[in-house]
Amino acid sequence: MQRTPEPEPLQLDPAECQALLDRHAPLFAGIKAGARIGLLPEENFDSTAAAMLVWEATEQGMVAAYRRFPGFDAVEVDLLFIPDHETLRRLHDPANPLPFADLKRKVRRRETLLYVVKPRAGLLDLGYEEFLDSLGLTFMGACR
């Protein structure tokens, strides 16, 4: 019986990750400094030594960096996306003209999981409403 090979580790160039954020800066314009979005490849979901990519809002804009995933109880992000390896690569591919449309489609089809770590009021305080709306995720509901 032939074993399925283990997925290769996440090997995204931090400069490519930052370039994605810079190209799509208006998408994150309303998000306040200190807000953090995590991306944990589903291949690393059960790993005790998993690395996640974190997009952190600063006064100068979003900044991409790798961080250790400490588990759900201790994760210090507001939103946590769990994409497959290929989705994560396509998201950061400079040749992909609509990377967030891809992410939106994957989340809506439940092919990429999204964990909302912070309570709704905390997300509002951090300015996530427009970002979540851009992904087609109902955030505020019908009554405002």
The answer to the question of residue 5 being in a domain is: no
Q: Which domain holds residue 112?
A: 14-129
Across the chain, mean pLDDT equals 84
Alpha carbon distance 17, 66 (integer Å)? 10
Query: Which CATH number fits the domain that encloses residue 38?
Result: 3.30.1050
Find the farthest-apart pair of alpha carbons in the chain and give their distance in angstroms, rounded: 57
Better-scored residue on pLDDT, 36 or 130: 36
The answer to the question of residue 138 being in a domain is: no
Q: 80 near 38, Cβ under 8 Å?
A: yes
Instruction: Please report, to the nearest 10 degrees, the dihedral formed by the alpha carbons of residues 11, 37, 111, 138 taken in order.
Output: -160
Number of domains into which the chain is organized: 1
The answer to the question of residue 106 being in a domain is: yes
Q: What is the pLDDT of residue 80?
A: 95
The answer to the question of residue 137 being in a domain is: no
Per-residue pLDDT band at 48 (split at 50, 70, 90) = low
The pTM (predicted TM-score) of the whole model is 0.85
